[in-house]
Amino acid sequence: MPNHLSILGIIHTAISIIAILVAFFALFNDGKIDPANGRGKLYTWLTAITCITGLPIMRFGHPTPGHYLAVIILILLTIGIYARRIFGKAGAYVQLIVMSTTLFLSCIPAVVESLTRLPMEHPLASGPNDPLVQRVQLILVIVFIIGVIYQVIKLRKLKKSV
């Protein structure tokens, strides 16, 4: 079966995969995605590029929920970058939650696109409403909630010890 991605689609997909990997690397090493350090900056830039390159891609000839998600992620990235300045003492918590939310939201189309396109000969799912996609997204929600709670508890303990 021929590759059914445009050149822009291939570039967009490659950048998005790298962004998600950088985010997980940051979470593993730093316990959070901090847009002020190197990993966080790289994630922020790659995610912004992913969102921007995704906007002109119209698989179905019109904007899809993924397009709106890209705009939401761009807004959240901006909030995450400036959270500490805008929200004062609560800024660290807002930043942590917002940046984790950008990763979670980035994983939604990654899951849908992966399961509905791979393997190319016979994709695992028929569309975004396929039960497999829905189950994987539920798992993502659970992992996101547990991860954010863990990060907030860890940050609270760190702030109390300082």
* pLDDT tens for each residue of 63-106: 989 999 999 999 999 999 999 999 999 999 999 999 999 999 99
Two structure tokens written together for 87 = 């929200």
Residue 36, number of CB atoms within 10 A of its CB: 10
With bands split at pLDDT 50, 70 and 90, how would you rate the model's confidence at 3?
low
From the list 89, 71, 84, 88, the residue with the least C-alpha distance to 40 is 84
Give CA–CA dist 91/75, Å, rounded.
Answer: 16
The rounded percent of the chain whose pLDDT value lies above 70 is 98
Q: Where are the alpha helices (DSSP H) in 5-90?
A: 7-30, 38-54, 65-87
Q: Where do the structural domains in the chain lie, given as residue ranges?
A: 7-161
